[in-house]
Structure formats: structure tokens, C-alpha cells
Structure 1
């Protein structure tokens, strides 16, 4: 595409849309209900919920100015601009955002984690290993640290840790060693060179299965650059604290690290914390959440066929049934 051509709005297919809408519907139906879309993106889920619930108010958070601008355009086009407040924020800033808006509690919170369609479909953002682009990966283009900074400055040990923990990459040490060796010759600046190095560092037999060899490395770098798991570990408890009685939280994850964290937090809220040595449960230590999904629910075959990005998606949800003591 010529750089002077206007950018076309990206095609956006919200993942697990029908299931998410059904899970949030009871909490969003009342007039004046507030939904926080903590990862607004292109507002696909938010638009559907605003369409379905005329009394719903949306608070949409996103650190990406391009995503917010496109979401605002779509919300205005659908006639929902007067019911939507869009905030430039990372989702772990949720308590501060609600405090600034004077909102004490909310009826719904949605997290659609991972990289957005806009970010994936814009090669210049550096999220994709499929095209050569600057090695960036920042969800907030104004953030100080890029993927190039990580690749070019982290020690071999730190790179190995990032790739192994966040990418679940079996060959993390081999890839890290290759990176540190090659960056001495020339610093890494492009996705293409990094993707090719990862391909060469992984054994040939492994390269023939499991998709692109650089997939896990790019995932790990993206998570590190944007502190995605750290932000989630802070944001999810804050979201649960903000829920009104009967309020619901819905979380869509795209890899096992996120899903495991969400599972543990929701399970803890749905458990009884009465000490086992006591003869009867103590009401004040009883569950504060009711789980709404059986494990992490996956997209159906028809949705995956229509939208391959849904293949790794899992959704978990819970409802607040009691205030914590």
C-alpha cells in the first residue's frame, strides 16, 4: 500500500461475541447499568451490548490512541456516543478511572486480552512476524520501551526467562544465545530479521510443525513490552472489587498463562475460606463469586472457521453474589 493512501478501517470480528453478550446481558439490562470494557479495542463487543441494552452506559479503556479513535468513530456512527466515555488508560488503572468519573460500582467488566485486530493488521506496529516492520510492539506508541529495546539490551539470561515464561518456548536458551550473538554484529531493528533468526535457531524437525517458529517469541516479547500479565494481575482483583451485587466479569484469554491466572483468581473468589478445622462454614468467609462458565469455554467450530483468531480463545465469567466482609 502506498503510504499516501488513506488507511481503511480494519475488518473487526469480535471473538465469542454471542457468548459474551449472553453472559453480560443480565447485568447490563437495567437502566443506568455501567459496563467497563477494559480492553476496548475496536469496540466490537461494546457496540453489540449497547445495541442490546438501551439504558447501558459504557466506560471504555484502551492505551492505544488509534484504537480509541476508531472505536469512537464506530460508537458515534451507531448513535451511542452519548452513552460512552472513552479513557486513555491501561486496564490496571481501573480504580483511578472510576474514581475520576465518580462511579462507585459497576454492573459489568469485560476483558478481551491479547493483541487487537487493529494492531495485528497494521504491519508498521511490529506485532506480526508475517511482514517486515520496525521491531516495536507497543500497544501505547508513546510508551518508552520497544521490542527492539528488549532484544538489544536484555542479558541472555533475561531473554531466556522472557521467552520461556511468557512464550512457553522450549528453545528459549538457544534463541536467546543466537540473539545476543547476532546483535553484537548489528542491533535488531526489524521483525523480519528477528523472525528469520528464530527460525534458524529452532531445530528443523520442530520447524515443520506447530505454525510459524517465531510465534512464541513474538508473543513473549509483546507481553514483556506491554507488561500484560503484570497489568492483569493488578486489574482483575480491582475489577472484582468494583462489581456491584449481581455484577458480572467476563474475561477472554488467548494463551494458557492468562487463562491460568484468570482461573485462579475467579476460583479463589468462588471458594469458601472457612478454616477446615471449624465445624460449620462461616457466612462472612463464604464465596463472593459464582462461576458462570464450566472451565474456559472455547469458540465453536463454525466461529473458528469464520474467524481463525478465535481458535485459541477461552472465556471465563463470574457473578458477584456477596460483598466481601
Structure 2
């Protein structure tokens, strides 16, 4: 969520003329976090919203994201609700880009999640996965194993010998151990703690659905664990991990095969984000307000996951009973 495209007051007024239900603009502030889209806090005389201009997302994928958010919001989940224009469309052009408005949810980001926060995100993620299995549309994961291979090949000249060896070894491991015949459905695919909002210990918002896709559900859970449940050195905090898994399991019980492949999922999730951060670090984009995240953070997480025993799941959910 960086600012790559500036919006003038005149452009904004012309755009909002097609959204009469939300009134006239009072303020527009750029949001610097994230790396994919241009995002603004939009305040009108009738409320607060998020305005997104899509920079790299294929336009044909946008209806999937917005329809998914509307579907989940209608199911009672704490996700932003897309705002239709006067003709009933969620998408319009603004400053040369396709743009959308969604409701701004209450709460704030928790930068140092505790056990209660991890329990809550596990509960909501389990509910979201159950609901998402009823969503009628699907979308392949554009950052799945095929993307891992292609991105690794493109990065070869940018990496140190140690980075290259680690990357090739993990790609080989994932090729031989990752399975696609696990429970699947719609996943968020980017539910880091800065994509969630809390009021106290209550999760009031899950935001930024623009990586959402159809994939292995346990992979989504592993993405969450790798961000919400870690020590500064990248190792997993057992208390937060137990809380996450126990509450997720209460909403959507995992199969014995998912439990057995939990270390593979954790390693794959770490690899995916190490690769994306390596790419953004070595091939940055210009932006008015941008943030590039340190790839070494996920290298450390990947190395820590490679040290996990094969029975890493055993005891985690039940230990919190």
C-alpha cells in the first residue's frame, strides 16, 4: 500500500461524482505501508473510506477481489465492504488507473501480537476459510510454486552464493514434499499483522485482499504463523502458535495429513515471502511514498523453519487445552 499515483483534488471530485451515496471529499491522505497498490485514506462529509488505485494487479482479477470482500462482509466477517458507484459497479477509472472505494473499518494495527491476538486471528481465519469454500469464483495463486521457480531464476545474478544455495535447496525440498491434494479454498495469502485491525483483543478488520486466491488452506495458516507467532530471531513462539492453531482448529478442524505437512507449509510460506522481498529489494519501483521490506527477515524465518522437526505439529493445539 504505497503511493505511486498522485490524485489531484479535481480528479477526486470528478471521480466521487459517480459515488453520490458517500458524499463530497473533505480530505485525502496517502498510505505509505505496503508495496503493491496506491492507497489513500478518504474522508467525505458522510464517512471514512479507503481509496485504492491498482498499479500492477491484472484488471481481469479485480472483480474476484471485490466480489470476495462483499461476499465475506455479507457473511458477517470483519472485512472491508466495497462501495458501488451510482451504476452498481465497484470499479471506475481515476488518474489513469482502475480504482475502488471500500469502507474503512475501526481499530488499529497491533505491531507486537500477543497470545490473545493470535487466538483471535486463528478464529477469524478459520471462519473465513469455511466461508470462502462457498465462494463461487476461483483464482489461481499467481505467486505459487511456478512463480517461485521463475523468480528464483530471474534473481540468480543478484544473489550471493550462500543465498543462491539456500534458495535452490529449498526449491528442491518443496518440489519433492509439497502436495496440492490438501483441503483448498479461497485464501487471503497476505494476512500479516499489518493487514489486521484490533480494538483491544477483538479483531475488527482483515484488510488488503489483493493477493487473495484459491490455494491450500493450510498454506494460508502457515503464512499467518510465520508473521504473528515469531520471536525476533524468526523462531516460533510456542504459546502464540498454540493459540493460533487451537482457535483455527475449533473453526475448521485440520486433517491428519495437513498436520503431518505443517513443516512443509511453514517452509513454503517463508520461501514465498523471502522471494518476493528479494525481488522488491533488487528490482524496486519508483513511488512518491514507498516502503521496501528487508528480505533478510524472511531468510531468517526460512532457516528457522528448516530446523523444525518433522513432527512439529505434535502437541501444539492440545498443549493449550
Shorter-normalised TM range: under 0.3
Specify the structure having the higher radius of gyration (Cα): 1
Higher relative contact order (CA 8 A, sep 6+): 2
TM-score normalised to structure 2 length: 0.28
User: Under a length normalisation based on structure 1, what TM-score does the superposition of the two structures give?
Assistant: 0.28
